[in-house]
Amino acid sequence: MGTTYNDYDVLALVQYLLYRVNVSFVYRLKAPNEERFHFDQSLCCCGGSNKRWEHEVLNGDDQQASGQSMIEIDGSFGEGGGQILRTSVALSALTMTAVRISNIRAKRPQPGLKRQHLTGIEMTGHLVDAEVEGLEVGSTVIEFVPRERRHGRFTLDVGTAGSISLVLQAALPASILSPKPTTFSLRGGTDVKWSPPVDYVERVFGVLLERIGPRIEIEQKRRGHYPRGGGVVECTVHPVESVAPLNIVEFGKLSGVFGVSHCVRLPAHVADRQARSAFTTIQRELGIAAEIRLESYHKDRDPHLGPGSGIVVWADSETGNRLGADSLGDRGIRAEEVGIAAAERLVRDLSTGYAVDSHLADMIIPYLAVADGDSRIGVTEITSHLLTNIWTVERILGTRINVDGSLGGPGIVTVHGEVLSV
């Protein structure tokens, strides 16, 4: 009956509730430090280069920050995973304030930084010419000190099937307020476990991001699956002077369902079976015929390094809202099961009547925290991952975020944005 939760979920909720009680007293006694939001031209100090990097830096700001304090983040809070690390570094770069993150991935079987975490921090560090200490595999403490906003073109090999989308999660926030557009050319994994597919980032997250101002253009030149990777993605970010607030609680009337089902280094029928099973499920449950594009390659003309498959589906409303869901193929899992899993997740989210799926909420919260005004979003599921991310945002920015709902159920998140502009 209902959803079951592991110890991390329960601990995250308890920690979050205790933190919110403490924060309420802090706000009554002392307002958040307003100096944290005076970062339009304050900048800090430089890190070393990486052999995998190629970058062309153009027209950075030159004014240096002086005397800024370093915000302390406990990486063991809540889930104690990599999301706290990515969000902390992303917000540090976005606001040009220094952070120190300790107890990194303290609740994982192998604590500390793994190789895939290094690339996201490296990418973000180059965007703001940051001085980074502790950036090595196994490190449980890092210090990230931004110095100068940069733009231009950055090229990085994430390594084998390291997630490109997670690197973008860390790097994109710093790019939205850059002086001019920034382009990332990335090589790694496009469709891998524990991260949103690049299709989702482009088709779902990118659409919502544009509603608040910044625009991203993504070209997926080649897919990369575990273990060999080899995916190639180019992402261009068109920045804004400030971020607009967002008010989308109810999804609205369904107008259409779309998707893309792919397979590489596999027979074309794999992508077809994924799509057909998703189509059948959606038509049965929602009474609408989904339009799902197929992507496959002839074995003699397939440029990919290794086999893999997956499907991303999304639903549009008459009011312009979009919900997304995805599922990844794996050995021992029938293609039909992959398609059904994505479709059922989409149907389940739509049944809540809310406008933002849980993964999208997790990704958009940092942007709303620096918007010019208050935002309200209806979330299809409040996860421990989302609560942990909210805690991180509040800790770094001092932004007030209210969550009306219970763990595992739908809810409404209100973000009292603290405008940040350059």
- Write phi, then psi, for 291 (nearest 5 degrees): -105, 105
Location of structure tokens 């309200």:
376
**Backbone CA torsion sign across 105, 109, 112, 116:** negative
Q: How many residues does the chain have?
A: 422
- 3-state DSSP assignment of residue 115: helix
Residue at 181: amino acid letter? P
User: Active-site positions?
Assistant: 385
The token pair at 241 is 């002077």
Distance CA 96, CA 79 (A): 26
Encoding tokens for residue 204? Answer: 């779902």
> Can you say whether the dihedral through the CA atoms of 218, 220, 226, 228 is positive or negative?
negative
Angle at 410 between CA 17 and CA 106, to 5 degrees: 45
Sign of CA dihedral 6, 9, 11, 14: negative
Give me the DSSP letters along 287-317: S---EEEEE---GGG---SS-EEEEEEEEEE
Gyration radius of the chain's alpha carbons: 21
> Which DSSP letter does residue 49 get?
-
Q: b/e for 286-314, b at 16 or more Cβ within 10 A?
A: beeebebebbbbeeeeeebbbbbbbbbbb
* Residues paired with residue 243 on neighbouring β-strands, in sequence order: 371
- C-alpha pair distances (Å), 85 with each of 78, 81, 102, 166, 191: 12, 8, 9, 11, 21
The whole-angstrom separation of Cα 175 and Cα 10 is 35
Cβ–Cβ < 8 Å for 81, 116: no
